[in-house]
Amino acid sequence: MRRVPAARVGGGALVFALLAVFPFVVHAAWIVNIGVITVMYAGLASAWNLFSGTTGYISLGHAAFFGIGAYALAITFNHVSGGGGYTPFYVLPLIGLGTGVVSLPIAWIALRTRAITFAIVTLTLFFMAQQLAFNLRGITHGSQGVAAPLPSFSVSDFDRPFYLAMVGVLALAILSYAYIRSSKLGLMLLAVREDEEKARSVGIRTTGVKLIAFAISAGLTGMVGGVWAYYLTFVYPQYAFDPLILIGTVLMAFLGGKGTLWGPFLGALVLVPAQQYMLTRFGASELYLVGYSAVFVVILLFMPRGIVPSLSAGANLLRRPPSLPAEPDLGIEAKRAAS
Amino acid sequence: MTALLEIEGLTKRFGGVVAVDRCSFSVPAGTITALVGPNGSGKTTVFNLVTGYAQPDTGLVRLDGDVVRRPHPVRLARRGLTRTFQQARIFPQLTLVENLAASLQQPWRAIGRRAVSPSDRTRALQLLDEFDLLRLADERAADLSYGQKKLLEFATVLMAEPRLVLLDEPTAGVNPLLVETIERRIRELRERGLTFLVVEHNMNLVMRLCDPVIVLDHGTKLAEGDPTEVQANPRVLDAYLGA
């Protein structure tokens, strides 16, 4: 077995213990509601990070898998009875598996492109998925939407099961990231991010490893979508395939620090409550958008690489002075002498 | 001598420019074969065609006597044919050991295992020692000097124990001391049975190290033979000095 520093495991366990205890301490429904949205975005951003953070391929289409997961849950319980209690949560792994499998051919097509083209292609695929949800009426009932099972939880703590389910998916995303990052798969994904041509030249099966990471990432995104559908009890195309979810997810991952374990989570933890607070406080005057933007500006100004990378760079700087290059580079002089 | 790599009638056009023109030659097993020629003579394009980074318009590539249909970098690397690039290519944010561990060709079933296993690390350190990079083992590759990056790149392609290595200007921009290290390593590896195809502009090195030498000009083979033969060939002199 691989050794993981005890402090990191302990720290992670503490974070999740605090997250899990939260709805038992705080009972105000509107706060727990913000908690659900926050943890939802944390899960989405962490799932996104699992592919885009490791490979450097910026996917703008992940929100499509959120929608697919949401529809999958709602449609499943239109055909199967037994929804209403905890059953939909137990089906989530299947939803994730299904979404992951569905994502494979899509990723295979999109991954024929790179860099900015990949971002645009995935964005296009997202809008195609949205259009399909509107137009495949036989399956999605078009703009009428699909009803998810009606939850039978008590009104006083209605949000709590959803909150905990979101925490569960988030934990799965963080654990998956940590595991992959420490495995050979993770090393290969980083090699792809660093220099894909070089990776190919040493025999790394770049397409295969990208597909695996994409499918896991899409599957987790689908699970978040499933919880969300059950929470809202109704799925409409414009909300299941929502560009705002897409933008929010990617922004939070960027602001928190993509390619880091806790960055996307931190990004969501800062931004979602800020957004919700601004919305309730200044929502009537639309000034809330100014406040929300101000949060972005402040973070970008002081931590341009994202919260986690900037903080750890700062901590390193305090700990030791910047290291000197290993050896003077005589290469240029040699070139000059040779010519 | 049997040919490890043979190319036959290889042609590649970029728009109206014929970069490689019905080029044929072979690389005998166990040799350090040089591919030389003036700038723009098509050496790097030949490398790209052979390693699958570009597809030929016509022509054949044979590895070990088998025709390689649609050359693909990953599949070829896994068959033992690997290359370096003109500009040293490495994984800058990874450590030297990680650079090497990533270059070990892993089977699918191993992808869940630890990124750098103790045996991977041992093998990496051994190779780093041979390239005088041992003390930098856990530094980020981005912090290396250009010459050291060249050495690291060379080391990465050796990780998976290839049979044929294509070196694209291994000593360009490298200080004389490191050139010696590279030369020594190439000789030692040849002794162990490796075959090299080297593109190089440093003619002194080519004459010392390589046999046979293949001269390309305008994408086609101009001359082939041992270094002294090639050096004496008037057509080669014309191509280099311009007639």
- Of A83-87, A293-297, B33-37, B63-67, the least confident: A293-297
- Of A43-52, A86-95, A98-107, A145-154, the least confident: A145-154
- Average pLDDT (A189-193) is 96
A82 pLDDT more than 80: no
Out of A141-145, A276-280, B187-191, the most confident range is: B187-191
Nearest CA in chain B to A4: B114
The pLDDT confidence band at residue A2, using thresholds 50, 70 and 90, is low
* CB B85 within 8 Å of CB A195: no
SS3 call for A235: strand
Rounded to whole angstroms, the Cα distance separating A171 from A177 reads 10
A324 pLDDT more than 60: no
Please, which residues have CB within 8 angstroms of residue B170's CB and are 6 or more apart in sequence?
A: B84, B150, B154, B182, B186, B198, B200
Q: Do A183 and B115 touch (CB under 8 A)?
A: yes
- Average pLDDT (A279-292) is 74
A259 backbone φψ class: left, alpha, beta (φ>0; ψ -120 to 50): left
B136 pLDDT more than 80: yes
Look over chain B and give the mean of its residue pLDDT values, rounded to a whole number. 91
- Average pLDDT (A41-54) is 96
Chain B residues touching residue A331 (CB < 8 angstroms): 145-147, 173-175
A322 pLDDT more than 60: no
Terminal alpha carbon distance of chain B: 35
Q: Do A327 and B148 touch (CB under 8 A)?
A: yes
Nearest CA in chain A to B116: A184
Chain A residues touching residue B92 (CB < 8 angstroms): 194-195
What pLDDT shows up at residue B91? 96
Q: Do B175 and A331 touch (CB under 8 A)?
A: yes
Q: What is the pLDDT of residues A205-214, one digit of tens each?
A: 999 999 999 9
- Of A86-95, A159-168, A290-299, B21-30, the least confident: A290-299
Q: Is the dihedral of CA B234, B235, B236, B240 positive or negative?
A: positive
B120 pLDDT more than 60: yes
Q: What is the pLDDT of residues A88-107, one digit of tens each?
A: 899 999 999 999 999 999 99
B139 pLDDT more than 50: yes
Reading the block at residue A236, the tokens are: 């409409």
CATH architecture for residues A6-261: Orthogonal Bundle (1.10)
Which residue in A201, A208, A337 is closest to B73 by CB distance?
Answer: A201
What pLDDT shows up at residue A30? 87
Task: Tell me the nearest-neighbour CA distance from B106 into chain A, angstroms.
Answer: 8
Task: Tell me the nearest-neighbour CA distance from B233 into chain A, angstroms.
Answer: 24
Q: Do A203 and B77 touch (CB under 8 A)?
A: yes
Interface confidence, given as ipTM, is 0.91
Which residue in B74, B90, B116 is closest to A200 by CB distance?
Answer: B74
- Give the start-to-end residue ranges of the domains of chain A: 6-261
Q: Do B77 and A200 touch (CB under 8 A)?
A: yes
A328 pLDDT more than 90: no
Q: What is the pLDDT of residues A241-273, one digit of tens each?
A: 998 898 889 989 988 888 899 999 999 998 888
- Average pLDDT (A69-95) is 88
Out of A215-224, B10-19, B82-91, B164-173, the most confident range is: A215-224
Neighbours of B122 (CB within 10 A): 10
Which residues of A fall below an 8 Å CB-CB distance to B?
2, 179, 182-188, 190-191, 194-195, 197-206, 208-209, 212, 323, 325-335, 337-338
Q: Do A191 and B89 touch (CB under 8 A)?
A: no
What pLDDT shows up at residue A59? 93
Please, which residues have CB within 8 angstroms of residue A26's CB and are 6 or more apart in sequence?
A: A32, A35
What pLDDT shows up at residue B187? 94
What would the DSSP string read from start to end of chain B? Answer: --EEEEEEEEEEEETTEEEEEEEEEEEETT-EEEEE-STTSSHHHHHHHHHTSS--SEEEEEETTEE-SS--HHHHHHTTEEE--SS----TTSBHHHHHHHTS---GGGTTSBSS-HHHHHHHHHHHHHTT-GGGTTSBGGGS-HHHHHHHHHHHHHTT--SEEEEESTTTT--HHHHHHHHHHHHHHHHTT-EEEEE-S-HHHHHHH-BSEEEEETTEEEEEE-HHHHHH-HHHHHHHH--
Q: Do A182 and B115 touch (CB under 8 A)?
A: yes
Q: Do A203 and B102 touch (CB under 8 A)?
A: no
A115 pLDDT more than 60: yes
When scoring B44, B103, B183 by the number of chain A Cβ atoms within 10 A, the one with the most, hence best to mutate, is B103
Q: Which residue has the higher pLDDT, A191 or A324?
A: A191
Please, which residues have CB within 8 angstroms of residue A286's CB and are 6 or more apart in sequence?
A: none
CATH number for B3-91+161-241 (one of 3.60.15.10, 3.10.20.30, 3.40.1170.10, 3.40.50.300): it is 3.40.50.300
Which residue in B89, B160, B175 is closest to A334 by CB distance?
Answer: B175
